[in-house]
Amino acid sequence: MRRLNRICHYYGVELQFICCSATIANPLELAEKLTGMPMELIDNDGSPKGTKHFILWNPPYIDEEKSYRRSPTTEAQYLMAKLIERHIQTITFTRARVIAELIYRYVRDLLKEKAPELVDSIRAYRGGYLPAERREIEKLLFSGQLLGVTSTTALELGIDVGALDACLIVGFPGTIASLWQQSGRAGRKSEDSLTVFIAYNDPVEQYLMRHPEYLFGQSPENAVIDPGNVYVLAEHLRCAAHELPLSEEDADIFGELTLPLLDVLCEHGDLTQIGDKWYWASTAYPASESDLRVISNDTYTIMDISRGNLVLGSVDAVNGFAMVYPEAIYMHEAETYLVRDLDLEQKIAYVEPIDADYYTQPWFEETIFITEQKKAKEWNGSQVYLGEVRVTRKTVGFVRMRFYTMENLGSERLDLPEQNLETIALWVIPPEELLDRLKYEKSGKPYEGLEGVKNVLASVLPHYAMADRQSIRGKVQQLDNEQIAIFLYDAYPGGLGFANKGYELLEKIIEHAQKIISECECADGCPSCVRQTDAMMWGGIDPDKESAAFILEEMIVM
């Protein structure tokens, strides 16, 4: 938007922007950050509305200790199949591509038994599909020819899918704003609609099940953006130089990092400086190399070797080692493919169809290196920092999981290169005396307690930073001075402002985390409070609930 305004201003045209949002708390601030221009807020809503029936659906416990609940994907598949059988046009939102594919596959299997004539009336939709596939699905959904679609957040906004009847939301999308955005896909105009929010056995989601007033009684969150993200800004500067030569005055448009980045782009051969102007110096068309939906344009192409290397789709490099590693099961439109080879140089994953009764899940090892400390403060005896870090992550193996039962069919090790992520993190170092008291006076487990604290903080922070759960990762790690720190970092190159928000609101986040643990009914820790099911599946550290509760309580009162 800033680039568009820059071009128009050059040619003597003054633009007027109209920015619309129904689901965020700070529309004025966001619009001004996006456009770089002063805006006026109009907040009267005159849009037609039908009755919306909103159901909070908490899967039942499956054990006497009340630690584990039935899978929300199981609940979703049965609900969606019932709605489709009754010709109720339904969209099911999930947080991950593999879940969208799994639910699609499971609903098709149910319809084959109950209503075979409707099997082809549903589709899956997610990032990584070819553009032609996505446009076809959008057209069929808009026209009413499709009765259902399982989707990631790819269909949450920006695409007109018509007026649907029902919306299933599998897992909290991370913010109240996103929840209402997804819910709004059903019941457009004045028709009645149904939304069912199906909860995972996750700290924040179980908190919302216990406190529905939190969803319905307060405004959506503030939108957080970072126009100064160096990876995003560099791409915009490349495009801006191609559109018009850049000058020092453009720093007023693009921010204080503009001039340092221009020097970097000159070193890379993208730009050349002549006098007081920077010119595009390449024969390439930079806009074609920049994707507005992802930060990194580095992608893996997925080819089906059984059909002469037909291109099935693509996946960005960040997720490539999590989806198309050797021997992985790649799912596409309910079909299963085995990854035969991953060409790291050409960035091609070669797959072939396989009739598999299982899917695969990877596991990772990672190390965090602090590269620059930006901010520091003391809070109740704890040392809190914000800064730049390098996260070295490696996909070290995977687990085979049987469809439906999720039975562990065995695991294999992998030998793949490390991936480096330069991003922003906050880290908290609790007082040594606190951990000593836990260990020697309470016979507690400091490291296992910190692991539990990390898990619940990583679940809570996205809610305050207006991010989805996959956007923030956490790790407990010993520093060079032998102190133990809890790291929370943005899972995107350069960071997107989530860790910054955590640094600002740490007290609220810790108090929220402490409340979640204290309210959980389990005895020894569960996925509703301190555990992460995936981590335990492949031998991760078993968090200690009692120790985690002690650490949080003491951090608050010290």
Whole-Å CA distances, 347 to 132, 305, 514, 534: 22, 15, 44, 28
Compute the mean pLDDT over every residue in the chain, rounded to the nearest whole number: 89
Q: What distance, in Å, lies between the first and last C-alpha atoms of the chain?
A: 47
Question: Is it the case that residue 537 has pLDDT exceeding 50?
Answer: no
Domain end, chosen from 216, 236, 270, is at 216
pLDDT band at 533 (very low <50, low <70, confident <90, very high): low
Shared domain check, 114 and 93: yes
Average pLDDT rounded to a whole number, residues 412-431: 94
Shared domain check, 116 and 28: no
DSSP 522: -
The total domain count for the chain is: 4
Query: What local confidence, expressed as pLDDT, does residue 339 receive?
Result: 97
Percent share of the chain, pLDDT over 90: 60
Query: What local confidence, expressed as pLDDT, does residue 278 receive?
Result: 96
Concatenating the DSSP letter of every residue in 133-175 gives: HHHHHHHHHHHT--SEEEE-GGGSSSS----BSEEEEES--SS
| Domain residue limits at 535 | 365-557
Q: What is the pLDDT of residues 243-270, one digit of tens each?
A: 999 999 999 889 888 999 999 999 989 9
Does residue 14 belong to any structural domain of this protein?
yes
Concatenating the DSSP letter of every residue in 1-27 gives: -HHHHHHHHHTT---------SS-S-H
Cα 351 from Cα 320, distance rounded (Å): 13
Q: What is the pLDDT of residues 385-412, one digit of tens each?
A: 999 999 999 999 999 999 988 899 999 9
Cα 404 from Cα 102, distance rounded (Å): 9
Residue 499's nearest CA partner among 421, 419, 420, 392 is: 421
Q: Tell me the three-class secondary structure of 227-295, residue by residue.
A: CCCHHHHHHHHHHHHHHCCECHHHHHHHCCCHHHHHHHHHHCCCEEEECCEEEECCCCCHHHHCCCCCC
Does residue 132 belong to any structural domain of this protein?
yes
Query: What local confidence, expressed as pLDDT, does residue 350 receive?
Result: 98
Does residue 100 belong to any structural domain of this protein?
yes
Cα 52 from Cα 215, distance rounded (Å): 15
Tokens of 503: 């640094």
Q: What is the pLDDT of residues 369-390, one digit of tens each?
A: 999 999 999 998 999 999 999 9
Residues 464 and 501 sit within 8 Å (Cβ to Cβ): yes
Cα 468 from Cα 174, distance rounded (Å): 4
- Identify the weakest region by mean pLDDT among 185-189, 196-200, 391-395, 496-500: 185-189
Query: What local confidence, expressed as pLDDT, does residue 535 receive?
Result: 47
Question: Is it the case that residue 534 has pLDDT exceeding 70?
Answer: no
Query: What local confidence, expressed as pLDDT, does residue 536 receive?
Result: 42
* Kind plus residue range of the DSSP H or E element containing 501: helix 498-504
Shared domain check, 521 and 442: yes
Shared domain check, 338 and 205: no
Tokens of 320: 């490539």
DSSP 129: B
Residues 179 and 463 sit within 8 Å (Cβ to Cβ): no
Domain end, chosen from 201, 216, 231, is at 216
Domain end, chosen from 199, 216, 233, is at 216
The backbone torsions φ and ψ at residue 146, rounded to the nearest 5 degrees and listed phi first, read: -100, 135
Does residue 280 belong to any structural domain of this protein?
no
Shared domain check, 186 and 91: yes
Percent share of the chain, pLDDT over 70: 95
Does residue 275 belong to any structural domain of this protein?
no
Question: Is it the case that residue 327 has pLDDT exceeding 70?
Answer: yes
Question: Is it the case that residue 502 has pLDDT exceeding 70?
Answer: yes
Shared domain check, 210 and 95: yes
Shared domain check, 347 and 372: no
The backbone torsions φ and ψ at residue 71, rounded to the nearest 5 degrees and listed phi first, read: -65, 135
Average pLDDT rounded to a whole number, residues 222-238: 80
Regarding predicted confidence, which is higher, 335 or 33? 335
Shared domain check, 30 and 149: no
Whole-Å CA distances, 60 to 69, 102, 105, 554: 5, 21, 23, 33
Does residue 467 belong to any structural domain of this protein?
yes
Residues 22 and 48 sit within 8 Å (Cβ to Cβ): no
Query: What local confidence, expressed as pLDDT, does residue 503 receive?
Result: 95
Average pLDDT rounded to a whole number, residues 76-97: 96
Shared domain check, 87 and 2: no
Average pLDDT rounded to a whole number, residues 125-152: 92
Cα 194 from Cα 189, distance rounded (Å): 14
- Identify the weakest region by mean pLDDT among 112-116, 421-425, 465-469: 465-469
The backbone torsions φ and ψ at residue 543, rounded to the nearest 5 degrees and listed phi first, read: -65, 150
Tokens 């340092």 belong to residue: 260
Shared domain check, 432 and 333: no
Residues 195 and 166 sit within 8 Å (Cβ to Cβ): yes
pLDDT band at 302 (very low <50, low <70, confident <90, very high): very high
DSSP 505: T
- Identify the weakest region by mean pLDDT among 94-108, 217-231, 313-327: 217-231
Average pLDDT rounded to a whole number, residues 495-514: 92
Cα 320 from Cα 298, distance rounded (Å): 10
pLDDT band at 291 (very low <50, low <70, confident <90, very high): low
Tokens 């899917």 belong to residue: 359
Shared domain check, 387 and 529: yes
Does residue 285 belong to any structural domain of this protein?
no
Does residue 242 belong to any structural domain of this protein?
no
pLDDT band at 217 (very low <50, low <70, confident <90, very high): confident
pLDDT band at 482 (very low <50, low <70, confident <90, very high): confident
Cα 97 from Cα 186, distance rounded (Å): 21
Query: What local confidence, expressed as pLDDT, does residue 523 receive?
Result: 77
Question: Is it the case that residue 119 has pLDDT exceeding 90?
Answer: yes
pLDDT band at 292 (very low <50, low <70, confident <90, very high): low
Shared domain check, 109 and 210: yes
